[in-house]
């Protein structure tokens, strides 16, 4: 991808250090001639390791909402000829696989984190550092942007988003001040939004990381609709697996992890009969098992080497 700085063309590299790479590869239990899906292709860090293990009829399907990520992945994976690239959303995995005439697959990987490139690239507006346009779209073809959320959502809606998706204690005050400022002038940049947040949160309460972190997370989740469909997405992914196929999901905050966990519990089957009954009468059915009873977390070494991995959790499900 090419950007222009001071009138000069500069090639930008899509960098993304894959989180819990070894754990994911081991968790997928890759078969040489299997079919695998990376539903969040990104910089293709995980996909490259999957592709290395495939032979013969082995195939990898790479899906990403971000067209720039897909183009970068194609370059990173140019040595492999058995990869299909799809510009789409993993929330529609059933439809996307049907369009490829694929009935079921041997494994699926979802890394729900924002890539380092998306955080660092100025025109994407994901980062609260620097002065960037308020965008935050993973798929740049969609209409909803962070600028629209910040300038057009009601105070009540903004407050609800910041509290629910960002777990921001000062959600009401931040929403109130955003609405106050935008009456005078449209809020256009990340810097303008950060200044509002910094002035709202008391200095004594700004010790736990950057004060804008939770607000930016909440707005990003809203823009990209990251939580609402996730529960059903996990169930759809499991439905797309072959027998003994595995789903590996990496999450980065509690709302994501809760949705993934609950969906996997649903797929595992949970008996709701009273404990004093001699046998099950509720009709609970299981379509697989949770390989990870508790989520796996990165090693201390990885957390020190890659700070963005600190909040990561990996859950693995195997279909019957």
Span 26-79, pLDDT tens digits: 999 999 999 999 999 988 999 999 999 999 999 999 999 999 889 989 999 999
pLDDT of 6 > 60? The answer is no
DSSP 176: H
Cα–chain center distance at 3:
25
Per-residue model confidence (pLDDT) at position 201:
93
pLDDT of 11 > 60? The answer is no
Range 235-243 average pLDDT:
98
Q: What is the mean pLDDT of the chain?
A: 90
Per-residue model confidence (pLDDT) at position 142:
94
DSSP 170: T
pLDDT category of residue 119 using cuts at 50, 70 and 90: low
Range 208-218 average pLDDT:
91
pLDDT category of residue 152 using cuts at 50, 70 and 90: very high
Q: In sequence order, what are the residues at sequence separation of 6 or more whose Cβ sits closer than 8 angstroms to the Cβ of residue 318? A: 244, 245, 246, 247, 288, 289, 291
pLDDT of 289 > 60? The answer is yes
Per-residue model confidence (pLDDT) at position 118:
67
Range 111-131 average pLDDT:
77
Per-residue model confidence (pLDDT) at position 7:
38
pLDDT of 278 > 90? The answer is no
Per-residue model confidence (pLDDT) at position 124:
84
Per-residue model confidence (pLDDT) at position 1:
39
pLDDT category of residue 284 using cuts at 50, 70 and 90: confident
Closest CA to 253 of 213, 290, 292, 293: 213
User: Which stretches of the chain are assigned E, i.e. beta strand?
Assistant: 2-5, 8-11, 35-38, 59-64, 83-87, 105-111, 241-251, 288-290, 313-319
Of 102-111, 114-123, 182-191, 204-213, the one with minimum mean pLDDT is 114-123
pLDDT of 99 > 70? The answer is yes
d(CA 314, CA 250): 5
Domains of the chain, CATH where assigned: 11-112+227-319 (3.40.50.150), 127-224 (1.10.150.170)
DSSP 93: H
Query: Which of 15-24, 69-78, 184-193: highest mean pLDDT?
Result: 184-193
């Amino acid at each position: 991808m090419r950007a222009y700085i001071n009138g000069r063309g500069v090639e930008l590299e899509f960098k993304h250090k894959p989180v819990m790479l070894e754990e994911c590869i081991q968790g997928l239990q890759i078969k040489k001639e299997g079919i695998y899906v990376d539903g969040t292709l990104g910089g293709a860090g995980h996909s490259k390791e999957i592709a290395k293990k495939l032979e013969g009829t082995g195939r990898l399907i790479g899906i990403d909402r971000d067209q720039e990520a897909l183009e970068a992945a194609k370059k990173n994976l140019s040595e492999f000829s058995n990869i299909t690239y799809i510009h789409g959303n993993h929330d529609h995995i059933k439809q996307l696989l049907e369009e490829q005439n694929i009935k079921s697959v041997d494994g699926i990987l979802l890394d729900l984190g924002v890539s380092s490139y998306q955080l660092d690239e100025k025109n994407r507006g994901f980062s609260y550092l620097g002065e960037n346009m308020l965008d935050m779209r993973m798929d740049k073809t969609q209409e909803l942007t962070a600028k629209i959320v910040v300038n057009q959502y009601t105070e009540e809606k903004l407050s609800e988003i910041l509290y629910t998706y960002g777990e921001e204690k000062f959600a009401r005050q931040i929403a109130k001040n955003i609405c106050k400022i935008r009456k005078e002038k449209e809020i256009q940049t990340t810097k303008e939004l950060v200044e509002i947040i910094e002035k709202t949160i008391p200095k004594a309460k700004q010790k736990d990381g950057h004060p804008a972190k939770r607000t930016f997370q909440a707005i990003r989740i809203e823009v990209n609709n990251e939580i609402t469909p996730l529960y059903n997405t996990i169930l759809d992914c499991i439905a797309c697996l072959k027998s003994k196929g595995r789903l590996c999901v990496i999450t980065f905050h509690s709302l994501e992890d809760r949705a993934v966990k609950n969906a996997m519990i649903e797929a595992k089957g949970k008996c709701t009969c009273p404990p004093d009954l001699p046998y099950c009468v509720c009709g609970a059915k299981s379509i697989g098992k949770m390989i990870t009873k508790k989520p796996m977390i990165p090693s201390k070494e990885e957390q020190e080497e890659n700070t963005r991995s600190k909040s990561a959790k990996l859950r693995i499900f195997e279909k019957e």
